[in-house]
Amino acid sequence: MEVIELAIPALVFFLMFIIGASLEKRDVNEVKAQNKKILFLTLGQVLLLPLCAWIIIKLMHPPTLVAGGMLLVSLCPGGAVSNIYSFLAKANVALSVTLTAFNGLVAVFILPIVVVTVFPALLTVDLALENLMVKQALQLVLLLLCPVVLGMTLRYWKPILIKKMMPTFEKIGGIGLLLLLMTILAQFQQKIAEQLSSLVLLALVFTLAAIFIAYCLGRILKLCQSDLAAVVIEFPVRNLALAALIAVNIFENSDYLLFAAVFFVIQTPIMLAITAWYRSQLSMNK
C-alpha cells in the first residue's frame, strides 16, 4: 500500500502538469471566442455529473463505500485520456483539450471545498477525519495548482520543445494510470469480487448516463459533429488518478478506490467503441 500512496501523488502531479502544458494560445483564444459554450459544458460536468451520481445512488442503494467511490469519481474533473480518445476519433481535439484544461483549473478551487463539505454531509465521517480533510484539502490545492502553473510556464518559455514532448508525456501518463488501476485491481481483487455485480452495474449506468448528458448538452448547443464527438467523449472520462489521491491521502480509506478501478475497466471498451464509431462517421463526412 505504501507504494500506491507514493505513486498516486506523483502521477496526479504529472497528469496535471500535462494539462497545464497542453494549453496553447489558441486554446485561450478559443475560450474567449466560445466562452459561453465552454462555461456551459464545464458547468455541465461540475453540476450534472455529481447530480447524476447522487440520483443513481438514491435509486440503486449501493453500499456506502461504493456509493462514495462513485460520487468521488463524478466530482473529479475530466481525464487527459479523453484527449487521446478524441484524437483517435478525429474529433475536435482542441475543444477536448480546452474542456479538460478548463475543467481541471476549476477543480483546483472547487474540489477541495466539495471534499470538506459534501462528503461529510452525505457519508459517515468522524470529526477527527473531517478536521484532517480541511488541512489536506489545502494541500490538494497546491498539488493541483503547482503542476498546472509549471506546465503553463514551460509551455510559454519552451513552446517548441513542450509541443514536441507532449505525445510522449501523454503516453507516459496513460501507461502510469493503467499501471495504477491494474495494481489496485490486483491488490483489492477479493473486495472487488465480493461487490462485483454492484460495482459493474453502477459503472455501466454512470458511464451511459454521462454519455447521454453530454449528447443532450451538445444538441442544445447545436454543436457540429466533430465538436459533439469531443464532448461525448469528454464527459464520461474522469481523472481517476485524482480520485485515487483523495481516497488514499485525504479519506485514508482505500475502499473508495474500488469503484474507480472497476469503472475504468468497464468504461474503456465502451469509449473505444464510441471512438471507433465517431471516427468512421467523421471520415465518411469528409
Q: Which residue has the higher pLDDT, 94 or 269?
A: 269
The residue written with cell numbers 442503494 in the block is 61
Confidence at residue 56, expressed as pLDDT on a 0 to 100 scale? 93
Which region among 119-123, 146-150, 153-157 has the lowest average model confidence (pLDDT)? Answer: 119-123
Which amino acid type is present at position 214? A
Q: What is the DSSP annotation of 82-142?
A: HHHHHHHHT--HHHHHHHHHHHHHHHHHHHHHHHHHHHHHHS---HHHHHHHHHHHHHHHH
Please compute the mean of the pLDDT values over residues 66-76 and round it to a whole number. 88
Confidence at residue 52, expressed as pLDDT on a 0 to 100 scale? 93
DSSP SS3 for 47: helix
Confidence at residue 141, expressed as pLDDT on a 0 to 100 scale? 64
Q: Give the highest mean pLDDT range of 25-39, 49-63, 171-185, 233-247.
A: 49-63
Residue 129 pLDDT greater than 50, yes or no: no
Please compute the mean of the pLDDT values over residues 269-286 and round it to a whole number. 80
Which of 178, 196, 228 lies closest to 41 in space, CA to CA? 228
Confidence at residue 233, expressed as pLDDT on a 0 to 100 scale? 93
Residue 126 pLDDT greater than 60, yes or no: no
Q: Residues near 14 by Cβ (< 8 Å), separated by ≥ 6?
A: 147, 169, 172, 173, 176
CA 110 – CA 150 distance, rounded (Å): 20
Please compute the mean of the pLDDT values over residues 69-85 and round it to a whole number. 84
Distances (CA, A) of 41 to 31, 216, 218: 12, 11, 8
- Model pLDDT for residues 3-31, shown as the tens digit of each residue: 555 676 777 778 778 777 776 666 666 65
Which region among 25-34, 47-56, 224-233 has the lowest average model confidence (pLDDT)? Answer: 25-34
Dihedral in degrees, nearest 10, Cα atoms 97, 99, 105, 107: -130
Residues of the chain with pLDDT > 70, as a percent, come to 80
Q: pLDDT grade, residue 149 (50/70/90)? A: confident
- Model pLDDT for residues 233-260, shown as the tens digit of each residue: 999 998 887 787 777 777 777 777 788 8
Confidence at residue 214, expressed as pLDDT on a 0 to 100 scale? 96
Cβ atoms of residues 259 and 253 within 8 Å: no
Confidence at residue 144, expressed as pLDDT on a 0 to 100 scale? 64
Which region among 42-51, 72-81, 122-131, 138-147 has the lowest average model confidence (pLDDT)? Answer: 122-131
Q: Which residue has the higher pLDDT, 132 or 206?
A: 206
Which region among 91-95, 118-122, 177-181 has the lowest average model confidence (pLDDT)? Answer: 118-122
